[in-house]
Amino acid sequence: MATQKITLAKGLNMGLRKAMEADDKVLLMGEDVGKLGGVFRITDGLQKDFGEDRVIDSPLAESGIVGTAVGMAMRGYRPVVEIQFDGFVYPAYDQIVCQVAKIHFRSQGRVKMPIVIRIPFGGGIGAVEHHSESPEAQFAHTPGLKVVACSNPVDGYWMIQQAIACDDPVIFLEPKRQYHADKAVLDESVTPEPLFTSRVVREGNDLTLLAYGPMVKTALKAAEAASGEGRSVEVIDLRTLSPLDMAPVLESVRRTGRAVVTHEAHVNLGMGAELAARITEECFYSLEAPVLRVGGFDTPYPPSRIEEDYLPDLDRVLDAVDRSWEF
Partner 1 sequence: MTQQPTGETPGFGPNLVEVFGPSQQDGGPELIQLLTPEGERVHHPEFDHDFTAEELRGFYRDMVLTRRIDTEATALQRHGELGIWAQLLGQEAAQIGAGRALRPQDFVFPTYREHGVAWCRGVDPLRLLGLFRGVDQGGWNPDDNNFGLYTIVIGAQTLHATGYAMGMQRDGVVGTGDPDRDAAVVAHFGDGASSQGDVNEAFIFAASYNAPVVFFCQNNQWAISEPIERQSRIPLYQRALGFGFPGVRVDGNDVLATYAVTKAALQRARDGQGPTFVEAYTYRMGAHTTTDDPTRYRLSGDVESWKLKDPIARVEVYLRRNGLVDDEFLAGIQAEADDLGHTLREGCKAMPDPQPMSMFDHVYAEMTDELAAQRDAYAAYLETFEGSTH
Ligand X SMILES: Cc1ncc(C[n+]2csc(CCOP(=O)(O)OP(=O)(O)O)c2C)c(N)n1
Indicate whether 64 belongs to the interface with ligand X (CB under 6 A).
Answer: no
Beta strand extents in 176-227 (DSSP E only): 184-186, 199-202, 207-211
Check residue 318 for interaction with its own copies (CB under 8 A). no
DSSP conformation class of 325: H
Cα gap 27→30, rounded to integer Å: 10
In whole angstroms, what is the distance from residue 297 CA to residue 71 CA? 38
Q: Cite the active site residues.
A: 131
Strand partners, 28: 55, 80
**Candidate ranges 5-13, 94-102, 199-207, 231-239; the one touching partner 1 (CB under 8 A):** 94-102
Q: Which of 296, 297, 253, 255 is nearest to 278 (CA)?
A: 253
Residue 297 touches partner 1, criterion: CB under 8 A: yes
Site string for ligand X, 91-110 (x = CB under 6 A): x-------------------
Q: Which of 84-92, 202-210, 272-280, 297-305 is the region at the interface with ligand X (rule: CB under 6 A)?
A: 84-92
Q: Which is nearer to its own copies, 227 or 280 (CB)?
A: 280
Q: Which of 128, 190, 269, 277 contacts partner 1 by CB under 8 A?
A: 128
Considering the complex, state which of residue 63 and residue 280 has its C-beta at the smaller distance from ligand X. Answer: 63
Question: From the list 31, 82, 234, 307, which residue makes contact with ligand X (rule: CB under 6 A)?
Answer: 31
Task: Choose among ligand X, partner 1, its own copies, none what residue 137 binds, the Cβ cut-off being 5 to 8 Å by kind.
Answer: its own copies
Compute the least distance from the CB of residue 257 to partner 1, in Å. 23
> Site mask, its own copies, residues 295-314, x = CB under 8 A?
--xxxx--------------
Q: What are phi and psi of 281, to 5 degrees?
A: -65, -40
Question: Cα–Cα distance between 179 and 121 in angstroms, integer?
Answer: 11
SS3 34: coil
Please identify, among the stretches 67-75, 83-91, 144-152, 216-224, the one whose residues bind ligand X according to the rule CB under 6 A: 83-91
Q: Characterize 301-317 residue by residue with b for buried, 16 or more Cβ atoms within 10 angstroms of its Cβ, and e for exposed.
A: bbebeebeebbbbeebb
Q: What are the backbone dihedrals phi and psi of residue 17, each rounded to the nearest 5 degrees, phi first?
A: -60, -45
- The region of 140-148, 212-220, 221-229, 285-293 touching partner 1 under the rule CB under 8 A is 140-148
Rounded Cα distance between 12 and 322, Å, is 36
Return the amino acid letter for 117.
I
CB of 185 to its own copies, least distance (A): 36
- Which stretches of the chain are DSSP H helices? 8-22, 46-50, 62-74, 93-94, 103-106, 136-140, 153-165, 215-228, 246-256, 271-282, 307-310, 314-326
Considering only residues 194 to 223 of the shown chain, the ones binding its own copies according to CB under 8 A are none
Closest separation in Å from C-beta 306 to its own copies: 13
The item of its own copies, ligand X, partner 1, none sharing an interface with residue 80, based on CB under 5 to 8 Å by kind, is none
Are 96 and 65 within 8 A, CB to CB?
no
Please state the three-class secondary structure of 57-99 as a single string.
Answer: ECCCCHHHHHHHHHHHHHCCCEEEEECCCHHHCHHHHHHHHHH
Is 101 among the residues that bind its own copies (CB under 8 A)?
yes
Q: Which is nearer to partner 1, 62 or 234 (CB)?
A: 62
Out of 88, 93, 297, 325, the only residue in the binding site for ligand X (CB under 6 A) is: 88
- Residues near its own copies (CB under 8 A) are 63, 87, 90-91, 93-94, 97-98, 101-102, 105-106, 129-130, 137-138, 140-144, 242, 265-266, 268-274, 276-277, 280-281, 284, 289-293, 297-300, 327
- Residues near ligand X (CB under 6 A) are 31, 60, 62, 84, 88, 91
